[in-house]
Amino acid sequence: MTRERPLRADAARNRAALLAAASEAFAAQGLDASVADIARRAGIGKGTVFRHFPTKDDLLAAVVLDRIDVLAELAQELLGAPEPGEALLQFMEAAAGQQRHLDLSFLRDAAGVNEMLDGTRSELFTAITALVDRAKEAGAIRSDITGMDVILLMCAPNHVVTFVPDAPPDLWRRYLSIIFDGLRPEGARPLPAVS
Amino acid sequence: MTRERPLRADAARNRAALLAAASEAFAAQGLDASVADIARRAGIGKGTVFRHFPTKDDLLAAVVLDRIDVLAELAQELLGAPEPGEALLQFMEAAAGQQRHLDLSFLRDAAGVNEMLDGTRSELFTAITALVDRAKEAGAIRSDITGMDVILLMCAPNHVVTFVPDAPPDLWRRYLSIIFDGLRPEGARPLPAVS
DNA sequence: CCGTAACCGGACCGCGCGGTCAACTTGATA
DNA sequence: TATCAAGTTGACCGCGCGGTCCGGTTACGG
Protein backbone atom coordinates (compact mmCIF):
# COMPACT_ATOMS: atom_id res chain seq x y z
CA MET A 1 0.00 0.00 0.00
CA THR A 2 1.81 3.07 1.28
CA ARG A 3 5.45 3.10 0.24
CA GLU A 4 7.16 3.12 3.60
CA ARG A 5 10.87 3.76 3.71
CA PRO A 6 12.53 2.89 7.01
CA LEU A 7 13.04 5.85 9.33
CA ARG A 8 16.46 7.26 9.79
CA ALA A 9 18.08 6.26 13.07
CA ASP A 10 17.74 9.64 14.77
CA ALA A 11 14.22 10.11 13.46
CA ALA A 12 13.12 6.82 14.96
CA ARG A 13 14.73 7.71 18.27
CA ASN A 14 13.02 11.07 18.35
CA ARG A 15 9.69 9.58 17.44
CA ALA A 16 9.88 7.13 20.30
CA ALA A 17 10.89 9.81 22.79
CA LEU A 18 8.11 11.99 21.49
CA LEU A 19 5.44 9.36 22.00
CA ALA A 20 6.66 8.63 25.49
CA ALA A 21 6.76 12.32 26.37
CA ALA A 22 3.29 12.87 24.94
CA SER A 23 1.93 10.01 26.99
CA GLU A 24 3.47 11.46 30.14
CA ALA A 25 2.29 14.96 29.41
CA PHE A 26 -1.28 13.98 28.59
CA ALA A 27 -1.45 11.90 31.73
CA ALA A 28 -0.04 14.65 33.91
CA GLN A 29 -1.76 17.74 32.58
CA GLY A 30 -4.74 16.48 30.63
CA LEU A 31 -5.14 16.45 26.90
CA ASP A 32 -4.60 20.15 26.51
CA ALA A 33 -0.96 19.89 27.45
CA SER A 34 0.77 22.18 24.99
CA VAL A 35 2.75 20.82 22.09
CA ALA A 36 5.63 23.04 23.12
CA ASP A 37 5.70 21.40 26.52
CA ILE A 38 5.60 17.92 25.05
CA ALA A 39 8.50 18.81 22.79
CA ARG A 40 10.43 20.13 25.77
CA ARG A 41 9.83 16.91 27.70
CA ALA A 42 11.05 14.88 24.76
CA GLY A 43 14.11 17.09 24.38
CA ILE A 44 13.32 17.99 20.79
CA GLY A 45 12.14 21.09 18.95
CA LYS A 46 8.52 21.94 18.42
CA GLY A 47 8.93 21.75 14.68
CA THR A 48 10.03 18.14 14.92
CA VAL A 49 6.79 17.22 16.60
CA PHE A 50 4.82 18.50 13.63
CA ARG A 51 7.14 16.71 11.24
CA HIS A 52 6.18 13.40 12.80
CA PHE A 53 2.52 14.24 13.33
CA PRO A 54 0.90 16.89 11.16
CA THR A 55 -1.51 17.82 13.93
CA LYS A 56 -1.69 17.65 17.67
CA ASP A 57 -4.75 15.45 17.30
CA ASP A 58 -2.73 13.01 15.24
CA LEU A 59 -0.20 12.79 18.03
CA LEU A 60 -2.96 12.12 20.53
CA ALA A 61 -4.42 9.52 18.20
CA ALA A 62 -1.07 7.74 18.07
CA VAL A 63 -0.82 7.63 21.83
CA VAL A 64 -4.37 6.40 22.15
CA LEU A 65 -3.80 3.82 19.46
CA ASP A 66 -1.06 2.25 21.56
CA ARG A 67 -3.39 1.89 24.52
CA ILE A 68 -6.14 0.45 22.38
CA ASP A 69 -3.74 -2.06 20.92
CA VAL A 70 -2.71 -3.31 24.32
CA LEU A 71 -6.30 -3.56 25.48
CA ALA A 72 -7.46 -5.33 22.34
CA GLU A 73 -4.73 -7.89 22.70
CA LEU A 74 -5.57 -8.45 26.35
CA ALA A 75 -9.26 -8.82 25.60
CA GLN A 76 -8.43 -11.42 22.97
CA GLU A 77 -6.33 -13.37 25.46
CA LEU A 78 -8.95 -13.26 28.18
CA LEU A 79 -11.52 -14.80 25.84
CA GLY A 80 -9.82 -18.09 26.58
CA ALA A 81 -9.83 -17.70 30.35
CA PRO A 82 -11.66 -20.35 32.41
CA GLU A 83 -13.82 -17.96 34.49
CA PRO A 84 -15.71 -15.58 32.18
CA GLY A 85 -16.81 -13.31 35.01
CA GLU A 86 -13.34 -13.05 36.44
CA ALA A 87 -11.96 -12.49 32.96
CA LEU A 88 -14.26 -9.52 32.43
CA LEU A 89 -13.28 -8.07 35.77
CA GLN A 90 -9.63 -8.47 34.96
CA PHE A 91 -10.12 -6.70 31.68
CA MET A 92 -11.94 -3.81 33.27
CA GLU A 93 -9.19 -3.49 35.85
CA ALA A 94 -6.57 -3.32 33.15
CA ALA A 95 -8.57 -0.72 31.28
CA ALA A 96 -9.21 1.40 34.35
CA GLY A 97 -5.57 1.20 35.33
CA GLN A 98 -4.57 2.89 32.09
CA GLN A 99 -3.09 6.32 32.14
CA ARG A 100 -5.44 9.04 33.32
CA HIS A 101 -7.07 11.64 31.13
CA LEU A 102 -6.99 9.37 28.13
CA ASP A 103 -10.02 7.63 29.55
CA LEU A 104 -12.60 7.75 26.86
CA SER A 105 -10.72 9.84 24.37
CA PHE A 106 -10.86 7.01 21.90
CA LEU A 107 -14.59 7.52 21.57
CA ARG A 108 -14.17 11.20 20.79
CA ASP A 109 -13.79 11.44 17.06
CA ALA A 110 -17.05 10.16 15.68
CA ALA A 111 -15.96 10.60 12.10
CA GLY A 112 -12.88 8.42 11.69
CA VAL A 113 -10.02 10.86 11.22
CA ASN A 114 -7.61 7.97 11.32
CA GLU A 115 -8.47 4.75 9.54
CA MET A 116 -6.01 2.63 11.42
CA LEU A 117 -7.34 3.89 14.71
CA ASP A 118 -10.86 3.07 13.62
CA GLY A 119 -9.80 -0.42 12.65
CA THR A 120 -8.15 -1.31 15.92
CA ARG A 121 -10.94 0.37 17.80
CA SER A 122 -13.68 -1.73 16.25
CA GLU A 123 -11.48 -4.74 16.86
CA LEU A 124 -11.43 -3.83 20.53
CA PHE A 125 -15.18 -3.26 20.51
CA THR A 126 -16.00 -6.70 19.20
CA ALA A 127 -13.54 -8.33 21.58
CA ILE A 128 -15.18 -6.59 24.52
CA THR A 129 -18.60 -7.57 23.33
CA ALA A 130 -17.49 -11.19 23.16
CA LEU A 131 -16.06 -10.94 26.66
CA VAL A 132 -19.36 -9.55 27.91
CA ASP A 133 -21.39 -12.21 26.15
CA ARG A 134 -19.35 -14.98 27.71
CA ALA A 135 -19.82 -13.44 31.15
CA LYS A 136 -23.55 -13.25 30.58
CA GLU A 137 -23.76 -16.89 29.48
CA ALA A 138 -21.86 -17.89 32.59
CA GLY A 139 -24.34 -15.97 34.71
CA ALA A 140 -21.61 -13.74 36.11
CA ILE A 141 -23.33 -10.53 35.10
CA ARG A 142 -26.89 -9.63 34.37
CA SER A 143 -28.15 -10.31 30.88
CA ASP A 144 -29.11 -6.78 29.90
CA ILE A 145 -25.57 -5.41 29.97
CA THR A 146 -24.01 -4.42 26.68
CA GLY A 147 -20.44 -4.03 25.55
CA MET A 148 -20.93 -0.29 25.41
CA ASP A 149 -22.03 -0.30 29.05
CA VAL A 150 -18.77 -1.94 30.02
CA ILE A 151 -16.71 0.46 27.93
CA LEU A 152 -18.34 3.47 29.51
CA LEU A 153 -18.31 2.19 33.05
CA MET A 154 -14.75 0.94 33.04
CA CYS A 155 -13.56 4.46 32.41
CA ALA A 156 -15.56 6.05 35.21
CA PRO A 157 -13.23 5.19 38.13
CA ASN A 158 -10.26 6.90 36.59
CA HIS A 159 -12.30 10.00 35.97
CA VAL A 160 -13.92 10.43 39.36
CA VAL A 161 -10.60 9.86 41.10
CA THR A 162 -9.23 12.86 39.23
CA PHE A 163 -11.21 15.11 41.52
CA VAL A 164 -9.96 13.95 44.87
CA PRO A 165 -6.70 15.70 45.73
CA ASP A 166 -3.84 13.58 47.02
CA ALA A 167 -5.69 10.42 46.11
CA PRO A 168 -3.76 7.18 46.60
CA PRO A 169 -2.80 5.93 43.15
CA ASP A 170 -5.01 2.87 43.38
CA LEU A 171 -8.14 4.54 44.65
CA TRP A 172 -9.77 3.72 41.34
CA ARG A 173 -9.88 0.07 42.37
CA ARG A 174 -12.40 0.94 45.03
CA TYR A 175 -14.82 2.43 42.54
CA LEU A 176 -14.29 -0.18 39.90
CA SER A 177 -15.12 -2.80 42.48
CA ILE A 178 -18.36 -1.07 43.38
CA ILE A 179 -19.31 -0.61 39.75
CA PHE A 180 -18.55 -4.20 38.89
CA ASP A 181 -20.74 -5.30 41.77
CA GLY A 182 -23.51 -3.34 40.13
CA LEU A 183 -23.26 -5.56 37.08
CA ARG A 184 -23.99 -8.77 38.96
CA PRO A 185 -27.34 -10.49 38.37
CA GLU A 186 -28.26 -11.30 41.98
CA GLY A 187 -31.28 -9.27 43.00
CA ALA A 188 -30.83 -6.91 40.12
CA ARG A 189 -33.55 -4.38 39.74
CA PRO A 190 -34.74 -3.77 36.20
CA LEU A 191 -32.80 -1.12 34.36
CA PRO A 192 -34.82 2.02 33.71
CA ALA A 193 -36.27 2.17 30.23
CA VAL A 194 -34.20 4.55 28.20
CA SER A 195 -36.06 6.45 25.51
CA MET B 1 -20.85 42.75 57.31
CA THR B 2 -20.33 43.78 53.72
CA ARG B 3 -22.25 46.96 52.94
CA GLU B 4 -24.53 45.82 50.15
CA ARG B 5 -26.56 48.39 48.27
CA PRO B 6 -29.45 47.01 46.20
CA LEU B 7 -28.71 46.52 42.52
CA ARG B 8 -30.21 48.85 40.00
CA ALA B 9 -33.13 47.33 38.10
CA ASP B 10 -31.34 46.83 34.81
CA ALA B 11 -28.25 45.52 36.56
CA ALA B 12 -30.29 42.88 38.33
CA ARG B 13 -31.93 41.91 35.06
CA ASN B 14 -28.60 41.62 33.34
CA ARG B 15 -27.13 39.60 36.16
CA ALA B 16 -29.95 37.11 36.00
CA ALA B 17 -29.69 36.79 32.23
CA LEU B 18 -25.96 36.38 32.56
CA LEU B 19 -26.22 33.56 35.06
CA ALA B 20 -28.79 31.78 32.93
CA ALA B 21 -26.69 32.19 29.81
CA ALA B 22 -23.57 30.99 31.60
CA SER B 23 -25.39 27.91 32.83
CA GLU B 24 -26.56 27.16 29.29
CA ALA B 25 -23.18 27.77 27.75
CA PHE B 26 -21.27 25.68 30.27
CA ALA B 27 -23.73 22.86 29.82
CA ALA B 28 -23.59 23.02 26.06
CA GLN B 29 -19.90 23.57 25.40
CA GLY B 30 -18.16 22.58 28.60
CA LEU B 31 -16.50 24.88 31.07
CA ASP B 32 -14.22 26.46 28.54
CA ALA B 33 -17.06 28.20 26.80
CA SER B 34 -15.69 31.65 26.10
CA VAL B 35 -16.80 34.65 28.10
CA ALA B 36 -17.52 36.46 24.85
CA ASP B 37 -19.93 33.72 23.86
CA ILE B 38 -21.68 33.77 27.20
CA ALA B 39 -22.10 37.54 26.92
CA ARG B 40 -23.53 37.11 23.45
CA ARG B 41 -26.04 34.54 24.69
CA ALA B 42 -27.09 36.90 27.46
CA GLY B 43 -27.42 39.78 25.04
CA ILE B 44 -24.98 41.97 26.94
CA GLY B 45 -21.47 43.28 26.36
CA LYS B 46 -18.39 41.39 27.42
CA GLY B 47 -17.38 44.19 29.74
CA THR B 48 -20.59 43.84 31.70
CA VAL B 49 -19.77 40.26 32.49
CA PHE B 50 -16.55 41.31 34.18
CA ARG B 51 -18.36 44.07 36.04
CA HIS B 52 -20.56 41.47 37.73
CA PHE B 53 -17.86 38.85 38.17
CA PRO B 54 -14.23 39.95 38.30
CA THR B 55 -13.08 36.67 36.83
CA LYS B 56 -14.46 33.91 34.68
CA ASP B 57 -13.87 31.54 37.56
CA ASP B 58 -16.05 33.68 39.79
CA LEU B 59 -18.84 33.41 37.26
CA LEU B 60 -18.45 29.66 37.20
CA ALA B 61 -18.43 29.61 40.99
CA ALA B 62 -21.71 31.51 41.06
CA VAL B 63 -23.34 29.04 38.70
CA VAL B 64 -22.03 26.10 40.66
CA LEU B 65 -23.14 27.68 43.92
CA ASP B 66 -26.72 27.71 42.68
CA ARG B 67 -26.59 23.99 41.95
CA ILE B 68 -25.02 23.22 45.29
CA ASP B 69 -27.70 25.22 47.05
CA VAL B 70 -30.46 23.25 45.41
CA LEU B 71 -28.78 19.95 46.20
CA ALA B 72 -28.07 20.87 49.80
CA GLU B 73 -31.69 21.82 50.32
CA LEU B 74 -32.89 18.59 48.74
CA ALA B 75 -30.52 16.51 50.85
CA GLN B 76 -31.84 18.22 53.95
CA GLU B 77 -35.42 17.44 52.98
CA LEU B 78 -34.69 13.81 52.18
CA LEU B 79 -33.23 13.29 55.63
CA GLY B 80 -36.84 13.07 56.82
CA ALA B 81 -37.97 10.58 54.21
CA PRO B 82 -39.37 7.25 55.42
CA GLU B 83 -37.16 4.96 53.30
CA PRO B 84 -33.47 5.87 53.80
CA GLY B 85 -32.29 3.74 50.89
CA GLU B 86 -34.84 5.19 48.54
CA ALA B 87 -34.02 8.65 49.80
CA LEU B 88 -30.37 8.23 48.94
CA LEU B 89 -31.25 6.95 45.48
CA GLN B 90 -33.53 9.90 44.92
CA PHE B 91 -30.80 12.28 45.93
CA MET B 92 -28.27 10.69 43.62
CA GLU B 93 -30.77 10.84 40.78
CA ALA B 94 -31.31 14.52 41.36
CA ALA B 95 -27.59 15.14 41.47
CA ALA B 96 -26.88 13.11 38.35
CA GLY B 97 -29.71 14.86 36.52
CA GLN B 98 -27.98 18.21 36.99
CA GLN B 99 -26.63 20.06 34.01
CA ARG B 100 -23.73 18.36 32.30
CA HIS B 101 -20.11 19.42 32.48
CA LEU B 102 -20.59 20.96 35.89
CA ASP B 103 -20.37 17.48 37.35
CA LEU B 104 -17.63 17.62 39.88
CA SER B 105 -16.48 21.15 39.27
CA PHE B 106 -17.39 22.03 42.82
CA LEU B 107 -14.57 19.86 44.07
CA ARG B 108 -12.05 21.62 41.85
CA ASP B 109 -10.71 24.54 43.83
CA ALA B 110 -8.89 22.97 46.73
CA ALA B 111 -8.00 26.32 48.27
CA GLY B 112 -11.31 28.05 48.84
CA VAL B 113 -11.33 30.96 46.45
CA ASN B 114 -14.84 31.78 47.50
CA GLU B 115 -15.80 31.59 51.15
CA MET B 116 -19.51 31.43 50.55
CA LEU B 117 -19.04 28.58 48.14
CA ASP B 118 -16.96 26.75 50.68
CA GLY B 119 -19.64 27.23 53.31
CA THR B 120 -22.51 25.87 51.27
CA ARG B 121 -20.32 23.13 49.98
CA SER B 122 -19.42 21.77 53.39
CA GLU B 123 -23.09 22.08 54.30
CA LEU B 124 -23.87 19.82 51.37
CA PHE B 125 -21.10 17.44 52.37
CA THR B 126 -22.42 16.89 55.87
CA ALA B 127 -25.98 16.51 54.60
CA ILE B 128 -24.86 13.82 52.18
CA THR B 129 -22.91 12.06 54.87
CA ALA B 130 -26.00 12.00 57.06
CA LEU B 131 -28.04 10.63 54.18
CA VAL B 132 -25.48 7.89 53.67
CA ASP B 133 -25.34 7.04 57.36
CA ARG B 134 -29.09 6.63 57.52
CA ALA B 135 -29.04 4.35 54.49
CA LYS B 136 -26.33 2.26 56.12
CA GLU B 137 -28.26 1.94 59.37
CA ALA B 138 -31.31 0.83 57.43
CA GLY B 139 -29.21 -1.82 55.71
CA ALA B 140 -29.95 -0.36 52.30
CA ILE B 141 -26.31 -0.01 51.35
CA ARG B 142 -23.15 -1.72 52.51
CA SER B 143 -21.52 -0.33 55.61
CA ASP B 144 -18.15 0.60 54.14
CA ILE B 145 -19.50 3.30 51.83
CA THR B 146 -18.59 6.89 52.63
CA GLY B 147 -20.16 10.19 51.74
CA MET B 148 -17.27 10.91 49.43
CA ASP B 149 -17.93 7.66 47.58
CA VAL B 150 -21.46 8.78 46.90
CA ILE B 151 -20.37 12.21 45.77
CA LEU B 152 -17.89 10.80 43.33
CA LEU B 153 -20.10 8.05 42.01
CA MET B 154 -23.21 10.16 41.55
CA CYS B 155 -21.32 12.31 39.06
CA ALA B 156 -20.03 9.43 36.97
CA PRO B 157 -23.18 8.78 34.89
CA ASN B 158 -23.32 12.29 33.57
CA HIS B 159 -19.70 12.11 32.57
CA VAL B 160 -19.64 8.80 30.77
CA VAL B 161 -22.78 9.70 28.85
CA THR B 162 -20.93 12.69 27.43
CA PHE B 163 -18.98 10.34 25.19
CA VAL B 164 -21.82 8.59 23.44
CA PRO B 165 -23.00 10.68 20.50
CA ASP B 166 -26.75 11.17 20.07
CA ALA B 167 -27.38 9.72 23.50
CA PRO B 168 -30.98 9.87 24.72
CA PRO B 169 -31.15 12.58 27.37
CA ASP B 170 -31.91 10.12 30.16
CA LEU B 171 -29.27 7.56 29.38
CA TRP B 172 -27.55 8.54 32.60
CA ARG B 173 -30.34 6.80 34.52
CA ARG B 174 -29.14 3.48 33.22
CA TYR B 175 -25.67 3.94 34.63
CA LEU B 176 -26.79 5.45 37.87
CA SER B 177 -29.01 2.44 38.39
CA ILE B 178 -26.11 0.07 37.83
CA ILE B 179 -23.85 2.04 40.13
CA PHE B 180 -26.44 2.24 42.86
CA ASP B 181 -26.88 -1.53 42.64
CA GLY B 182 -23.17 -1.76 43.33
CA LEU B 183 -23.72 -0.06 46.67
CA ARG B 184 -26.13 -2.68 48.00
CA PRO B 185 -24.93 -4.99 50.75
CA GLU B 186 -26.24 -8.30 49.42
CA GLY B 187 -23.36 -10.53 48.49
CA ALA B 188 -20.96 -7.64 48.50
CA ARG B 189 -17.36 -8.61 48.02
CA PRO B 190 -14.89 -6.82 50.25
CA LEU B 191 -13.64 -3.54 48.85
CA PRO B 192 -9.98 -3.65 47.84
CA ALA B 193 -7.68 -2.19 50.43
CA VAL B 194 -6.62 1.23 49.29
CA SER B 195 -3.14 2.26 50.30
C1' DC C 1 34.87 10.49 1.92
C1' DC C 2 31.54 13.02 -0.28
C1' DG C 3 26.95 14.49 -1.92
C1' DT C 4 22.44 14.82 -0.77
C1' DA C 5 18.09 13.94 0.91
C1' DA C 6 16.04 13.45 5.11
C1' DC C 7 15.79 15.59 9.40
C1' DC C 8 15.99 19.11 13.01
C1' DG C 9 15.00 23.46 15.44
C1' DG C 10 13.28 27.80 16.81
C1' DA C 11 11.84 32.25 15.09
C1' DC C 12 7.62 33.49 13.34
C1' DC C 13 2.41 33.90 12.18
C1' DG C 14 -2.59 34.36 13.06
C1' DC C 15 -5.99 33.50 16.22
C1' DG C 16 -8.95 33.52 20.16
C1' DC C 17 -8.74 33.76 24.82
C1' DG C 18 -9.36 36.33 29.62
C1' DG C 19 -9.22 40.71 31.21
C1' DT C 20 -8.97 46.28 31.11
C1' DC C 21 -10.52 50.93 30.27
C1' DA C 22 -12.30 55.39 29.09
C1' DA C 23 -16.25 57.28 26.86
C1' DC C 24 -21.02 56.96 26.91
C1' DT C 25 -25.99 55.84 28.69
C1' DT C 26 -29.42 55.28 32.13
C1' DG C 27 -32.14 54.64 36.28
C1' DA C 28 -32.83 56.47 40.95
C1' DT C 29 -33.48 60.48 43.77
C1' DA C 30 -35.01 65.13 45.47
C1' DT D 1 -36.88 67.68 35.41
C1' DA D 2 -32.09 68.13 36.55
C1' DT D 3 -28.31 65.66 38.52
C1' DC D 4 -24.95 62.12 38.92
C1' DA D 5 -23.41 57.78 40.59
C1' DA D 6 -24.12 53.31 38.84
C1' DG D 7 -24.17 50.64 34.90
C1' DT D 8 -22.91 49.46 30.06
C1' DT D 9 -20.09 48.92 26.09
C1' DG D 10 -16.80 47.51 22.47
C1' DA D 11 -12.27 48.60 21.16
C1' DC D 12 -8.06 47.26 22.91
C1' DC D 13 -4.04 44.62 25.28
C1' DG D 14 -0.89 40.75 26.30
C1' DC D 15 -0.50 36.07 26.16
C1' DG D 16 -0.08 31.35 24.85
C1' DC D 17 -1.78 28.31 21.76
C1' DG D 18 -1.49 25.22 17.22
C1' DG D 19 0.81 25.33 13.14
C1' DT D 20 4.46 27.00 9.36
C1' DC D 21 8.94 27.48 7.29
C1' DC D 22 13.52 27.90 6.00
C1' DG D 23 18.53 27.78 7.16
C1' DG D 24 21.59 24.72 9.32
C1' DT D 25 22.71 19.77 10.57
C1' DT D 26 23.21 14.86 10.17
C1' DA D 27 22.78 10.08 8.81
C1' DC D 28 23.47 7.08 5.03
C1' DG D 29 24.31 5.10 -0.03
C1' DG D 30 27.84 5.06 -3.54
User: Mind listing the pLDDT tens digit for each residue in A28-40?
Assistant: 999 999 999 999 9
A116 Cβ contacts chain C strand, under 7 Å: no
A34 Cβ contacts chain D strand, under 7 Å: yes
pLDDT for A96 equals 93
If 0-12 CB within 10 Å is exposed, 13-18 middle and 19+ buried, where does residue A54 land? exposed
What's the mean pLDDT when you consider all of chain A?
A: 88
Q: Is some CB atom of chain B closer than 8 A to the CB atom of A168?
A: yes
Chain B hits for A189, Cβ within 8 Å: 177, 181
Amino acid at A86: E
pLDDT for A1 equals 45
A108 Cβ contacts chain C strand, under 7 Å: no
Residue % of chain A over a pLDDT of 90: 69
The helix/strand/coil state of A125 is helix
Give yes or no for residue B5 having a pLDDT over 80.
no
Give yes or no for residue B152 having a pLDDT over 90.
yes
Rounded Cα–Cα distance for residues A131 and A94 (Å): 14
Find and list the nucleotides of strand C having atoms within 7 Å of a protein beta carbon. 6-12, 16-22, 26-28
Write the CATH number of the domain with boundaries A55-181: 1.10.357.10
Q: Please, which pLDDT band fits residue A2 given cuts at 50, 70 and 90?
A: very low
Rounded Cα–Cα distance for residues B54 and B50 (Å): 5
Chain B residues 13-42, Cβ below 7 A from strand C: 32, 34-37
pLDDT for A72 equals 93
Whether residue A64 contacts residue A106, with contact meaning beta carbons closer than 8 Å, is answered with yes
pLDDT for A8 equals 86
Give yes or no for residue B181 having a pLDDT over 90.
yes
CATH fold group of domain B56-181: Tetracycline Repressor; domain 2 (1.10.357)
Domain positions in chain B are: 9-52, 56-181
User: Is domain A8-52 in CATH 1.10.10, yes or no?
Assistant: yes
Out of A137-141, B67-71, B106-110, B169-173, pick the least confident: B106-110
Do the domains B9-52 and B56-181 sit in the same CATH topology, yes or no?
A: no
Q: Please, which pLDDT band fits residue B191 given cuts at 50, 70 and 90?
A: confident
Whether residue B118 contacts residue B129, with contact meaning beta carbons closer than 8 Å, is answered with no
Compute the average pLDDT of residues B60-83: 94
A5 Cβ contacts chain D strand, under 7 Å: no
Rounded Cα–Cα distance for residues B176 and B163 (Å): 16
Q: Which of A153, A175, A184 sits opposite B152 (nearest CB)?
A: A175
Contacts of B39 (CB under 8 A, 6+ apart): B18, B21, B45, B46, B48, B49
CATH fold group of domain B9-52: Arc Repressor Mutant, subunit A (1.10.10)
> Left if phi > 0, otherwise alpha if psi is -120 to 50, otherwise beta: which for B147?
alpha
Give yes or no for residue B113 having a pLDDT over 60.
no
Q: Please, which pLDDT band fits residue A186 given cuts at 50, 70 and 90?
A: confident
- The nucleotide minimizing the C1' distance to residue B7's CA is D6
Q: What are phi and psi of B177, to 5 degrees?
A: -60, -45
Q: Which residue has the higher pLDDT, B144 or A112?
A: B144
First to last CA, chain B: 45
